[in-house]
Structure 1
Amino acid sequence: MTEAQNCRPTRVLIVDDHPAVREALAIRIGRQADMAVCGEAADTGEALQVLPACRPDVAVIDISLKSGNGIDLIRRIKDRNALVQIVVWSMHAETLYAERALRSGALGYVNKDQATDTIVEAIRKVRRGEVWLSEAMTQRMLHRSVGVRHPSSASPLEDLTDRELEVFRFIGRGVRTGEIAQRMHLSVKTVETYRDRIRTKLDIVDGAQLACIAAQWVLENERVPR
Protein backbone atom coordinates (compact mmCIF):
# COMPACT_ATOMS: atom_id res chain seq x y z
CA MET A 1 0.00 0.00 0.00
CA THR A 2 1.37 3.41 -0.97
CA GLU A 3 1.70 6.41 1.37
CA ALA A 4 -1.13 8.14 -0.50
CA GLN A 5 -3.39 5.15 0.08
CA ASN A 6 -2.59 5.26 3.79
CA CYS A 7 -3.79 8.88 3.95
CA ARG A 8 -7.38 8.18 2.89
CA PRO A 9 -10.08 5.87 4.23
CA THR A 10 -10.42 2.43 2.71
CA ARG A 11 -13.35 2.47 0.30
CA VAL A 12 -15.63 -0.52 0.93
CA LEU A 13 -18.30 -2.01 -1.34
CA ILE A 14 -20.90 -4.17 0.46
CA VAL A 15 -22.62 -6.92 -1.57
CA ASP A 16 -25.36 -8.76 0.32
CA ASP A 17 -28.96 -9.54 -0.58
CA HIS A 18 -30.36 -8.59 2.86
CA PRO A 19 -30.89 -4.81 3.30
CA ALA A 20 -30.75 -5.08 7.08
CA VAL A 21 -27.37 -6.85 6.91
CA ARG A 22 -25.98 -4.22 4.55
CA GLU A 23 -27.26 -1.44 6.80
CA ALA A 24 -25.77 -2.95 9.95
CA LEU A 25 -22.39 -3.48 8.34
CA ALA A 26 -22.43 0.00 6.80
CA ILE A 27 -23.07 1.52 10.24
CA ARG A 28 -20.22 -0.52 11.74
CA ILE A 29 -17.83 0.51 8.97
CA GLY A 30 -18.96 4.12 9.23
CA ARG A 31 -17.71 4.21 12.81
CA GLN A 32 -14.17 3.43 11.67
CA ALA A 33 -11.93 6.42 11.01
CA ASP A 34 -9.98 4.51 8.37
CA MET A 35 -12.97 3.20 6.36
CA ALA A 36 -15.89 4.48 4.32
CA VAL A 37 -18.70 2.68 2.50
CA CYS A 38 -18.58 3.68 -1.17
CA GLY A 39 -21.48 1.55 -2.40
CA GLU A 40 -23.94 -1.27 -1.77
CA ALA A 41 -25.46 -4.00 -3.96
CA ALA A 42 -27.87 -6.91 -3.55
CA ASP A 43 -26.63 -9.09 -6.41
CA THR A 44 -24.08 -9.60 -9.15
CA GLY A 45 -25.69 -7.21 -11.63
CA GLU A 46 -25.91 -4.34 -9.16
CA ALA A 47 -22.36 -4.92 -7.92
CA LEU A 48 -20.87 -4.80 -11.41
CA GLN A 49 -22.98 -1.74 -12.25
CA VAL A 50 -21.74 0.32 -9.29
CA LEU A 51 -18.16 -0.94 -9.45
CA PRO A 52 -16.73 1.66 -11.89
CA ALA A 53 -18.12 4.70 -10.05
CA CYS A 54 -17.64 3.20 -6.58
CA ARG A 55 -13.93 2.40 -7.11
CA PRO A 56 -13.68 0.24 -3.96
CA ASP A 57 -10.45 -0.79 -2.32
CA VAL A 58 -12.20 -3.73 -0.68
CA ALA A 59 -15.43 -5.56 -1.53
CA VAL A 60 -17.28 -7.50 1.17
CA ILE A 61 -19.30 -10.20 -0.58
CA ASP A 62 -21.80 -12.83 0.58
CA ILE A 63 -21.93 -16.24 -1.09
CA SER A 64 -25.72 -16.27 -1.52
CA LEU A 65 -27.03 -13.28 -3.46
CA LYS A 66 -30.38 -12.12 -4.83
CA SER A 67 -29.23 -13.36 -8.22
CA GLY A 68 -25.92 -14.92 -9.15
CA ASN A 69 -23.49 -16.10 -6.48
CA GLY A 70 -20.54 -14.68 -4.62
CA ILE A 71 -17.91 -17.04 -6.01
CA ASP A 72 -18.70 -16.06 -9.58
CA LEU A 73 -18.87 -12.37 -8.61
CA ILE A 74 -15.37 -12.54 -7.11
CA ARG A 75 -13.97 -13.69 -10.45
CA ARG A 76 -15.87 -11.05 -12.40
CA ILE A 77 -14.76 -8.22 -10.12
CA LYS A 78 -11.12 -9.32 -10.30
CA ASP A 79 -11.38 -9.53 -14.10
CA ARG A 80 -12.55 -5.90 -14.19
CA ASN A 81 -10.28 -4.52 -11.49
CA ALA A 82 -7.53 -6.73 -10.14
CA LEU A 83 -6.64 -4.13 -7.48
CA VAL A 84 -9.90 -4.63 -5.57
CA GLN A 85 -9.28 -6.86 -2.57
CA ILE A 86 -12.16 -9.13 -1.58
CA VAL A 87 -13.31 -10.68 1.67
CA VAL A 88 -16.28 -13.05 1.85
CA TRP A 89 -18.68 -12.54 4.76
CA SER A 90 -21.10 -15.44 4.78
CA MET A 91 -23.18 -17.74 6.96
CA HIS A 92 -21.90 -20.74 5.00
CA ALA A 93 -19.24 -22.93 6.59
CA GLU A 94 -15.73 -21.90 5.60
CA THR A 95 -14.74 -25.58 5.31
CA LEU A 96 -16.79 -25.75 2.13
CA TYR A 97 -16.44 -22.26 0.68
CA ALA A 98 -13.28 -20.56 1.95
CA GLU A 99 -10.87 -22.38 -0.33
CA ARG A 100 -13.20 -21.86 -3.32
CA ALA A 101 -13.33 -18.15 -2.53
CA LEU A 102 -9.53 -17.87 -2.33
CA ARG A 103 -9.09 -19.78 -5.59
CA SER A 104 -11.46 -17.29 -7.22
CA GLY A 105 -9.44 -14.29 -6.05
CA ALA A 106 -10.61 -13.39 -2.55
CA LEU A 107 -8.14 -12.88 0.28
CA GLY A 108 -10.40 -13.49 3.25
CA TYR A 109 -13.34 -15.48 4.55
CA VAL A 110 -15.32 -14.55 7.65
CA ASN A 111 -18.34 -16.42 8.99
CA LYS A 112 -21.30 -14.24 9.97
CA ASP A 113 -21.50 -16.08 13.29
CA GLN A 114 -18.46 -14.08 14.36
CA ALA A 115 -18.65 -10.58 15.85
CA THR A 116 -18.72 -7.65 13.42
CA ASP A 117 -15.35 -6.61 14.84
CA THR A 118 -13.95 -9.62 12.97
CA ILE A 119 -15.09 -8.47 9.53
CA VAL A 120 -13.74 -4.99 10.24
CA GLU A 121 -10.32 -6.41 11.07
CA ALA A 122 -10.50 -8.68 8.03
CA ILE A 123 -11.14 -5.65 5.81
CA ARG A 124 -8.02 -3.98 7.18
CA LYS A 125 -5.93 -7.09 6.65
CA VAL A 126 -6.99 -7.86 3.07
CA ARG A 127 -6.52 -4.17 2.25
CA ARG A 128 -2.86 -4.74 3.08
CA GLY A 129 -2.82 -7.72 0.72
CA GLU A 130 -2.79 -10.28 3.52
CA VAL A 131 -4.98 -13.37 3.89
CA TRP A 132 -7.64 -13.59 6.59
CA LEU A 133 -8.86 -17.04 7.61
CA SER A 134 -9.71 -18.65 10.91
CA GLU A 135 -6.91 -20.60 12.57
CA ALA A 136 -8.81 -23.85 11.98
CA MET A 137 -9.16 -23.15 8.26
CA THR A 138 -5.53 -22.09 7.98
CA GLN A 139 -4.43 -25.39 9.50
CA ARG A 140 -6.80 -27.29 7.23
CA MET A 141 -5.33 -25.70 4.11
CA LEU A 142 -1.78 -26.25 5.33
CA HIS A 143 -2.54 -29.94 5.83
CA ARG A 144 -3.92 -30.14 2.31
CA SER A 145 -0.94 -28.31 0.80
CA VAL A 146 1.41 -31.01 2.07
CA GLY A 147 -0.89 -33.85 1.04
CA VAL A 148 -2.29 -34.67 4.47
CA ARG A 149 -6.04 -35.17 4.83
CA HIS A 150 -7.22 -32.99 7.71
CA PRO A 151 -9.29 -34.89 10.31
CA SER A 152 -12.26 -32.53 9.86
CA SER A 153 -12.36 -33.02 6.08
CA ALA A 154 -15.53 -35.05 6.18
CA SER A 155 -17.95 -33.43 3.72
CA PRO A 156 -18.28 -35.21 0.36
CA LEU A 157 -19.52 -31.90 -1.05
CA GLU A 158 -15.91 -30.75 -1.15
CA ASP A 159 -15.48 -32.90 -4.25
CA LEU A 160 -18.14 -30.94 -6.15
CA THR A 161 -17.06 -28.17 -8.53
CA ASP A 162 -18.34 -24.64 -7.90
CA ARG A 163 -21.05 -25.07 -10.56
CA GLU A 164 -22.08 -28.49 -9.24
CA LEU A 165 -22.35 -27.11 -5.72
CA GLU A 166 -24.51 -24.24 -6.95
CA VAL A 167 -26.85 -26.70 -8.71
CA PHE A 168 -26.94 -28.82 -5.54
CA ARG A 169 -28.04 -25.79 -3.51
CA PHE A 170 -30.77 -24.92 -5.99
CA ILE A 171 -32.03 -28.51 -5.85
CA GLY A 172 -32.11 -28.27 -2.07
CA ARG A 173 -34.26 -25.16 -2.28
CA GLY A 174 -36.74 -26.98 -4.47
CA VAL A 175 -35.90 -25.12 -7.69
CA ARG A 176 -36.82 -27.08 -10.80
CA THR A 177 -34.28 -27.92 -13.50
CA GLY A 178 -35.66 -25.43 -16.04
CA GLU A 179 -35.51 -22.57 -13.57
CA ILE A 180 -32.00 -23.56 -12.45
CA ALA A 181 -30.96 -23.36 -16.10
CA GLN A 182 -32.44 -19.87 -16.40
CA ARG A 183 -30.85 -18.60 -13.21
CA MET A 184 -27.43 -19.99 -14.12
CA HIS A 185 -27.70 -19.04 -17.80
CA LEU A 186 -27.21 -22.64 -18.87
CA SER A 187 -29.12 -25.10 -21.03
CA VAL A 188 -31.42 -27.63 -19.38
CA LYS A 189 -29.21 -30.39 -20.74
CA THR A 190 -26.15 -28.90 -19.04
CA VAL A 191 -27.97 -28.70 -15.72
CA GLU A 192 -29.06 -32.32 -16.10
CA THR A 193 -25.42 -33.25 -16.73
CA TYR A 194 -24.44 -31.48 -13.50
CA ARG A 195 -27.18 -33.39 -11.65
CA ASP A 196 -25.81 -36.70 -12.95
CA ARG A 197 -22.28 -35.76 -11.90
CA ILE A 198 -23.49 -34.79 -8.43
CA ARG A 199 -25.27 -38.11 -8.01
CA THR A 200 -22.15 -39.99 -9.09
CA LYS A 201 -19.81 -38.07 -6.79
CA LEU A 202 -22.15 -38.35 -3.80
CA ASP A 203 -23.10 -41.96 -4.57
CA ILE A 204 -26.80 -41.09 -4.76
CA VAL A 205 -29.19 -43.59 -6.30
CA ASP A 206 -31.83 -41.38 -7.91
CA GLY A 207 -33.30 -37.89 -8.22
CA ALA A 208 -35.62 -38.32 -5.24
CA GLN A 209 -32.73 -39.17 -2.94
CA LEU A 210 -30.72 -36.26 -4.34
CA ALA A 211 -33.59 -33.84 -3.64
CA CYS A 212 -33.94 -35.18 -0.09
CA ILE A 213 -30.22 -34.94 0.72
CA ALA A 214 -29.91 -31.49 -0.86
CA ALA A 215 -32.98 -30.19 1.02
CA GLN A 216 -31.56 -31.46 4.31
CA TRP A 217 -28.23 -29.77 3.60
CA VAL A 218 -29.92 -26.47 2.81
CA LEU A 219 -31.99 -26.75 5.98
CA GLU A 220 -28.88 -27.27 8.09
CA ASN A 221 -26.59 -24.78 6.35
CA GLU A 222 -28.76 -21.92 5.12
CA ARG A 223 -30.40 -20.58 8.22
CA VAL A 224 -31.63 -17.42 6.54
CA PRO A 225 -34.55 -18.04 4.12
CA ARG A 226 -33.69 -17.44 0.47
Structure 2
Amino acid sequence: MKTNTPQAPIRIAIVDDHTMMREGWRLFIENAEDLAFAWMAGDASEAVRKVDEDTPDVLVVDISLPDRSGLELIKDLRLLRPKLPMIAISMHDEKLYAQRALKAGARGYVMKSAPQKVLEQALHRVASGGIAVSEEMSEEILKAFSSGNATESKDSISELSDREFEVFVLIGQGKNTGQIAEALRISTKTVDVHKMNIRAKLGMNETGELAYFAIRWAEGQKTN
Protein backbone atom coordinates (compact mmCIF):
# COMPACT_ATOMS: atom_id res chain seq x y z
CA MET A 1 0.00 0.00 0.00
CA LYS A 2 1.42 3.37 -1.08
CA THR A 3 1.72 6.20 1.37
CA ASN A 4 1.92 9.84 0.32
CA THR A 5 5.31 11.35 1.08
CA PRO A 6 4.95 14.80 2.66
CA GLN A 7 6.15 17.48 0.25
CA ALA A 8 9.17 19.44 1.44
CA PRO A 9 8.46 23.11 2.16
CA ILE A 10 9.60 25.72 -0.38
CA ARG A 11 12.78 27.37 0.89
CA ILE A 12 12.65 31.16 0.46
CA ALA A 13 15.55 33.63 0.70
CA ILE A 14 15.11 37.42 0.94
CA VAL A 15 17.30 40.26 -0.38
CA ASP A 16 16.19 43.62 1.05
CA ASP A 17 18.17 46.42 2.66
CA HIS A 18 15.45 47.34 5.17
CA THR A 19 15.68 45.33 8.40
CA MET A 20 11.97 45.65 9.16
CA MET A 21 11.03 44.36 5.71
CA ARG A 22 13.38 41.38 6.05
CA GLU A 23 11.98 40.51 9.47
CA GLY A 24 8.45 40.93 8.16
CA TRP A 25 9.18 38.48 5.36
CA ARG A 26 10.76 36.05 7.85
CA LEU A 27 7.67 36.06 10.06
CA PHE A 28 5.36 35.69 7.08
CA ILE A 29 7.34 32.72 5.71
CA GLU A 30 7.76 31.00 9.07
CA ASN A 31 4.00 31.21 9.69
CA ALA A 32 3.11 29.67 6.31
CA GLU A 33 2.62 25.90 6.39
CA ASP A 34 4.48 24.94 3.24
CA LEU A 35 7.15 27.65 3.17
CA ALA A 36 10.52 27.64 4.95
CA PHE A 37 12.85 30.57 5.61
CA ALA A 38 16.35 29.97 4.17
CA TRP A 39 18.31 33.19 4.76
CA MET A 40 18.31 36.96 4.28
CA ALA A 41 20.76 39.46 2.78
CA GLY A 42 20.93 43.23 2.97
CA ASP A 43 22.70 43.97 -0.32
CA ALA A 44 23.60 42.47 -3.70
CA SER A 45 27.15 41.35 -2.88
CA GLU A 46 25.99 39.50 0.23
CA ALA A 47 23.19 37.89 -1.78
CA VAL A 48 25.57 36.57 -4.44
CA ARG A 49 27.77 35.03 -1.75
CA LYS A 50 24.86 33.41 0.05
CA VAL A 51 23.29 32.04 -3.14
CA ASP A 52 26.62 30.41 -3.91
CA GLU A 53 26.73 28.86 -0.42
CA ASP A 54 23.08 27.86 -0.15
CA THR A 55 20.79 28.14 -3.20
CA PRO A 56 17.13 28.52 -2.11
CA ASP A 57 14.06 27.30 -3.98
CA VAL A 58 12.92 30.90 -4.60
CA LEU A 59 14.80 34.17 -4.18
CA VAL A 60 12.88 37.38 -3.42
CA VAL A 61 14.80 40.51 -4.53
CA ASP A 62 14.02 44.12 -3.69
CA ILE A 63 14.59 46.34 -6.73
CA SER A 64 16.19 49.14 -4.69
CA LEU A 65 19.43 47.97 -3.04
CA PRO A 66 22.28 50.11 -1.65
CA ASP A 67 25.18 48.75 -3.69
CA ARG A 68 23.47 48.17 -7.04
CA SER A 69 20.06 47.80 -8.65
CA GLY A 70 18.13 44.67 -7.72
CA LEU A 71 17.44 44.17 -11.41
CA GLU A 72 21.18 44.04 -12.09
CA LEU A 73 21.51 41.46 -9.31
CA ILE A 74 18.77 39.38 -10.93
CA LYS A 75 20.65 39.50 -14.24
CA ASP A 76 23.87 38.34 -12.58
CA LEU A 77 22.18 35.51 -10.70
CA ARG A 78 20.37 34.42 -13.83
CA LEU A 79 23.80 33.73 -15.34
CA LEU A 80 25.18 32.08 -12.20
CA ARG A 81 22.04 30.06 -11.37
CA PRO A 82 19.86 29.84 -14.51
CA LYS A 83 17.32 27.57 -12.80
CA LEU A 84 16.88 29.73 -9.69
CA PRO A 85 13.35 31.24 -9.68
CA MET A 86 13.36 34.88 -8.59
CA ILE A 87 10.63 37.37 -7.70
CA ALA A 88 11.24 41.11 -7.83
CA ILE A 89 9.52 43.22 -5.15
CA SER A 90 9.15 46.99 -4.99
CA MET A 91 7.10 49.82 -3.58
CA HIS A 92 6.57 51.05 -7.15
CA ASP A 93 3.53 50.23 -9.27
CA GLU A 94 4.16 47.17 -11.42
CA LYS A 95 3.46 49.17 -14.60
CA LEU A 96 6.83 50.84 -14.03
CA TYR A 97 8.98 47.79 -13.37
CA ALA A 98 7.26 44.45 -14.10
CA GLN A 99 8.40 44.10 -17.70
CA ARG A 100 11.93 45.20 -16.81
CA ALA A 101 11.99 42.61 -14.00
CA LEU A 102 10.85 39.80 -16.30
CA LYS A 103 13.35 40.86 -18.96
CA ALA A 104 16.12 40.80 -16.34
CA GLY A 105 15.27 37.18 -15.50
CA ALA A 106 12.74 37.35 -12.68
CA ARG A 107 9.75 35.01 -12.80
CA GLY A 108 7.45 37.45 -11.06
CA TYR A 109 6.86 40.95 -9.75
CA VAL A 110 4.97 41.80 -6.56
CA MET A 111 4.42 45.16 -4.91
CA LYS A 112 5.39 45.41 -1.25
CA SER A 113 1.87 46.57 -0.44
CA ALA A 114 0.31 43.35 -1.77
CA PRO A 115 -1.75 41.23 0.67
CA GLN A 116 -0.03 38.19 2.17
CA LYS A 117 -2.32 35.87 0.17
CA VAL A 118 -1.03 37.40 -3.08
CA LEU A 119 2.60 37.05 -1.91
CA GLU A 120 2.06 33.42 -0.98
CA GLN A 121 0.38 32.62 -4.30
CA ALA A 122 3.25 34.30 -6.16
CA LEU A 123 5.86 32.24 -4.31
CA HIS A 124 4.04 28.99 -5.07
CA ARG A 125 3.48 29.89 -8.72
CA VAL A 126 7.12 30.80 -9.31
CA ALA A 127 8.39 27.74 -7.39
CA SER A 128 6.31 25.51 -9.68
CA GLY A 129 7.70 27.10 -12.83
CA GLY A 130 5.03 29.74 -13.48
CA ILE A 131 5.03 33.51 -13.87
CA ALA A 132 3.62 35.71 -11.10
CA VAL A 133 2.23 39.10 -12.14
CA SER A 134 -1.25 40.56 -11.77
CA GLU A 135 -3.96 39.77 -14.33
CA GLU A 136 -3.84 43.37 -15.53
CA MET A 137 -0.09 43.17 -16.09
CA SER A 138 -0.42 39.80 -17.84
CA GLU A 139 -2.79 41.40 -20.33
CA GLU A 140 -0.41 44.33 -20.88
CA ILE A 141 2.50 41.95 -21.55
CA LEU A 142 0.42 39.79 -23.92
CA LYS A 143 -0.72 42.90 -25.82
CA ALA A 144 2.88 44.09 -26.12
CA PHE A 145 4.07 40.75 -27.49
CA SER A 146 1.09 40.33 -29.83
CA SER A 147 1.69 43.80 -31.28
CA GLY A 148 5.41 43.12 -31.57
CA ASN A 149 6.35 45.94 -29.19
CA ALA A 150 7.23 44.01 -26.01
CA THR A 151 10.25 45.22 -24.11
CA GLU A 152 12.41 45.10 -27.20
CA SER A 153 11.12 48.51 -28.30
CA LYS A 154 13.90 51.06 -28.60
CA ASP A 155 12.17 54.17 -27.23
CA SER A 156 14.42 56.51 -25.26
CA ILE A 157 13.12 55.40 -21.83
CA SER A 158 13.83 51.73 -22.55
CA GLU A 159 17.44 52.66 -23.34
CA LEU A 160 18.05 53.71 -19.73
CA SER A 161 19.91 51.25 -17.53
CA ASP A 162 17.99 49.82 -14.57
CA ARG A 163 19.66 52.19 -12.09
CA GLU A 164 19.16 55.15 -14.42
CA PHE A 165 15.50 54.23 -14.71
CA GLU A 166 15.20 54.18 -10.90
CA VAL A 167 16.67 57.69 -10.78
CA PHE A 168 14.36 58.82 -13.60
CA VAL A 169 11.28 57.52 -11.75
CA LEU A 170 12.30 59.37 -8.58
CA ILE A 171 12.86 62.58 -10.56
CA GLY A 172 9.35 62.11 -11.90
CA GLN A 173 8.11 61.96 -8.32
CA GLY A 174 9.58 65.43 -7.75
CA LYS A 175 12.53 64.31 -5.61
CA ASN A 176 15.74 66.36 -5.58
CA THR A 177 19.29 65.02 -5.77
CA GLY A 178 19.67 64.58 -2.00
CA GLN A 179 16.35 62.76 -1.68
CA ILE A 180 17.22 60.44 -4.58
CA ALA A 181 20.61 59.69 -3.02
CA GLU A 182 18.94 58.84 0.29
CA ALA A 183 16.25 56.69 -1.34
CA LEU A 184 18.77 54.64 -3.35
CA ARG A 185 21.52 54.63 -0.69
CA ILE A 186 24.01 56.19 -3.09
CA SER A 187 26.04 59.42 -3.05
CA THR A 188 24.79 62.70 -4.49
CA LYS A 189 27.76 62.62 -6.90
CA THR A 190 26.57 59.26 -8.21
CA VAL A 191 23.05 60.68 -8.66
CA ASP A 192 24.50 63.59 -10.65
CA VAL A 193 26.38 61.16 -12.90
CA HIS A 194 23.18 59.19 -13.51
CA LYS A 195 21.31 62.40 -14.31
CA MET A 196 24.00 63.38 -16.80
CA ASN A 197 23.80 59.95 -18.48
CA ILE A 198 19.99 60.11 -18.56
CA ARG A 199 20.05 63.54 -20.20
CA ALA A 200 22.53 62.28 -22.79
CA LYS A 201 20.36 59.27 -23.66
CA LEU A 202 17.21 61.38 -23.83
CA GLY A 203 18.92 64.10 -25.85
CA MET A 204 18.50 66.84 -23.24
CA ASN A 205 20.91 69.57 -22.17
CA GLU A 206 19.24 71.16 -19.15
CA THR A 207 18.45 69.62 -15.75
CA GLY A 208 15.13 71.49 -15.71
CA GLU A 209 14.18 69.91 -19.02
CA LEU A 210 14.80 66.44 -17.58
CA ALA A 211 12.70 67.17 -14.48
CA TYR A 212 9.81 68.52 -16.59
CA PHE A 213 9.90 65.50 -18.91
CA ALA A 214 10.16 62.98 -16.02
CA ILE A 215 7.22 64.53 -14.16
CA ARG A 216 5.06 64.60 -17.30
CA TRP A 217 6.02 60.97 -18.02
CA ALA A 218 5.10 59.93 -14.46
CA GLU A 219 1.72 61.66 -14.77
CA GLY A 220 1.12 59.80 -18.02
CA GLN A 221 1.82 56.46 -16.33
CA LYS A 222 -0.94 57.15 -13.78
CA THR A 223 -3.54 57.68 -16.49
CA ASN A 224 -2.57 54.71 -18.69
Q: TM bucket by the smaller chain?
A: 0.7 to 0.9
Quote the residue 1:224 is aligned against.
Answer: none
Quote the residue 1:140 is aligned against.
Answer: 140
How many residues matched? Answer: 199
Amino acid across the alignment from 2:190: E
- Preserved contact between residue 61 and residue 86 of structure 2 (Cα < 8 Å): yes
Aligned positions of 1:157-172 closer than 5 A? 158-163=157-162, 164-169=164-169, 172=175
> Aligned-pair distance for 1:68?
0.9
- Percent same amino acid at aligned positions? 31
Alignment pair present for 1:195 and 2:199:
yes
Aligned positions of 1:56-75 closer than 5 A? 56-75=56-75
Q: In structure 2, what is the Cα distance between the partners aligned to 1:104 and 1:138?
A: 17
> Aligned-pair distance for 1:67?
2.1
- Preserved contact between residue 160 and residue 198 of structure 2 (Cα < 8 Å): no
Aligned mate of 1:179, from 190, 215, 218: 190
List alignment gaps of at least 5 residues for structure 1: 151-155, 182-187, 222-226
Q: In structure 2, what is the Cα distance between the partners aligned to 1:191 and 1:158?
A: 13
List alignment gaps of at least 5 residues for structure 2: 182-186
Distance 1:196 1:177, change over 3 A: farther
Quote the residue 2:25 is aligned against.
Answer: 25
Which TM-score applies when normalising by structure 2? 0.76
Moved over 3 A (4+): 156-160, 169-173, 175-178, 190-194, 211-218
RMSD over aligned CA atoms reads 3.1
Amino acid across the alignment from 1:197: K
Q: In structure 2, what is the Cα distance between the partners aligned to 1:144 and 1:216?
A: 22
- Preserved contact between residue 109 and residue 133 of structure 2 (Cα < 8 Å): yes
> Aligned-pair distance for 1:45?
1.1
Quote the residue 2:44 is aligned against.
Answer: 44
